[in-house]
Structure 1
Amino acid sequence: MKRKEFAVIGLGRFGGSICKALSEEGVEVLAIDIDEDRVNAYANIASHAVVGDTTDEAVLKSLGIRNFDHVIVAIGDSIQASILTTLILKELGVPHITVKATNDYHERVLNKIGADQIVHPERDMGKRIAHNIISNNVLDYLELSDEHSIVEIVASRRLDGHSIIDLDIRAKYGINIVAIKRGKDIIVSPQATEIIRHGDILIVIGADTDINRFEKKLVEE
């Protein structure tokens, strides 16, 4: 089975971190930036690193960009360059395009021209940090949509010794405990009879409003 090939356009902080993470997973990554210094910095990290203006269709064609399975457009310093690059990638038939948006206007345009996935790294990280600051029990927060999330919550003494079925979490709060971290052990899809212990890390999934109700009534001390 052919391994997927990725291209990352824009090697700033966001694009660079994606390029490095993909390379560490052992996949083929083409790194592209208009800045030669940035490209040189990733020459020994990515499979290939090239200097190129991706708003020029001829440049993208010469790189064989249409042969890549997934292209990440991480251009952060020029909305115009980001939009034009995305438009050319769509016209060339790239199967999957993920684009970094810098604001809501940028996102609306990207949606109209057919970007497959749009990410807001600064906004999303801000939400995670704010959520963690507000609640002492929340360790991590991953937004699945505008209204649903996966959250890691530390079980307080109020939950100690109670089973999942005793607490009736699913019926009362509409959320699901999909896993429990206990020390070095991880209990995936815990049984309803599983006893929760103080200090357990509960990985819960559900609507944000339901998760917040659960935090306030059962978790916060």
Structure 2
Amino acid sequence: MSARKTNDSGIVVIGLGRFGCHLAGSLLQLDHQVLAVDRNPERVQRWSEQLDRVVQADSTEEGALRQLGVADFKRVVVAIGGSVEASVLTVLALTELGIPQIWARATSEKHAKILASVGAHHVIFPEAETGERVAHLIVSKMLDFIEFGDDFAIAKVRVPAAMVGRPLRELAPTERYGVMVVGAKLPGERFRYAGPDTVLERESVLIVEGSIGQVQRFAGLG
């Protein structure tokens, strides 16, 4: 697998603890190529047959990451949980490489603040958010979502540009896309329930419901 060929769809996962492995597996199920990195040779050996590409390296070293081609990827997840120092230094190294999207695991609020201050664009708490849920957010345009089982989800998405200024009755999102628009919200305002006569305004955030696939495709329209 060449990093330069996968920089659009490929994702780097650094740290193969429980969370990192579940996240990498979920991303693979979503048909994204994964470069997994861990400094522990036993973990690398253990997951080498299950993941796309697993390499042993010290992720705190910018030069090591550059040699692996990490700089060619647009999205990197720092899933390190056992060492606050290692996770922070890894985020610093990724920042130096100019990675556009750095997702980092935090184990406490203080840890989260440090990660954000050194360059993490998204800070996540895996104890509250499973690897599967985070994987969906990373690879889609959904702003947030909750899965209720049986392939049903409620998601927060930006209003697609083509739907601005038109009422839901005319747009017929249920018939066209399989999703129901439950509510809409403008910046600085509260969510309001949506009905057939609701006109979607620019910069609105919508609450929609449907299957995970349907809400992902709807979010992708924007």
Bin for the TM-score computed over the shorter chain: 0.5 to 0.7
Match of residue 49, structure 1, among 46, 54, 62: 54
Q: Which residue of structure 2 aligns with residue 96 of structure 1?
A: 101
Q: Which has the higher strand share?
A: 1
Q: Which residue of structure 1 aligns with residue 88 of structure 2?
A: 83
Q: Which runs of 5+ in 2 are unaligned?
A: 131-142, 149-172, 183-193, 197-205, 209-222
Percentage of matched positions with identical amino acids: 35
Match of residue 7, structure 1, among 5, 12, 26: 12
Tell me, yes or no, if the aligned pair for 2:181 and 2:207 is still in contact at 8 Å: no
Tell me, yes or no, if the aligned pair for 1:151 and 1:205 is still in contact at 8 Å: no
Q: Distance in 2 between matches of 1:9 and 1:110?
A: 15
Distance 1:4 1:151, change over 3 A: closer
Q: Which runs of 5+ in 1 are unaligned?
A: 126-142, 153-177, 180-185, 194-203, 207-221
Q: Which residue of structure 2 aligns with residue 188 of structure 1?
A: 180
Pair member with larger Rg? 1
Q: Distance in 1 between matches of 2:116 and 2:146?
A: 25
Give the secondary-structure state (helix, strand or coil) at the position aligned to 1:122: coil
Q: Compute the TM-score of the two structures, normalised by the length of structure 2.
A: 0.57
Alignment deviations for residues 23-56 of structure 1 (CA, whole Å, 9 cap, x no partner): 1222221011111121122212322110111112
Give the secondary-structure state (helix, strand or coil) at the position aligned to 2:27: helix
In the TM superposition, residue 5 of structure 1 has moved relative to its aligned partner by 1.3
Q: How many residues align?
A: 145
Q: Which residue of structure 2 aligns with residue 158 of structure 1?
A: none
Is 1:59 the equivalent of 2:39?
no
Is 1:109 the equivalent of 2:101?
no
Identify which range, 23-32 or 9-18, moves more after superposition.
Answer: 23-32
Tell me, yes or no, if the aligned pair for 1:8 and 1:15 is still in contact at 8 Å: yes
Q: Compute the TM-score of the two structures, normalised by the length of structure 1.
A: 0.57
Is 1:18 the equivalent of 2:10?
no
Q: Distance in 2 between matches of 1:115 and 1:7?
A: 14
Alignment deviations for residues 82-116 of structure 1 (CA, whole Å, 9 cap, x no partner): 00000010011111110000101111111111211
In the TM superposition, residue 78 of structure 1 has moved relative to its aligned partner by 0.2
Q: Distance in 2 between matches of 1:90 and 1:100?
A: 15
Q: Distance in 1 between matches of 2:52 and 2:78?
A: 17
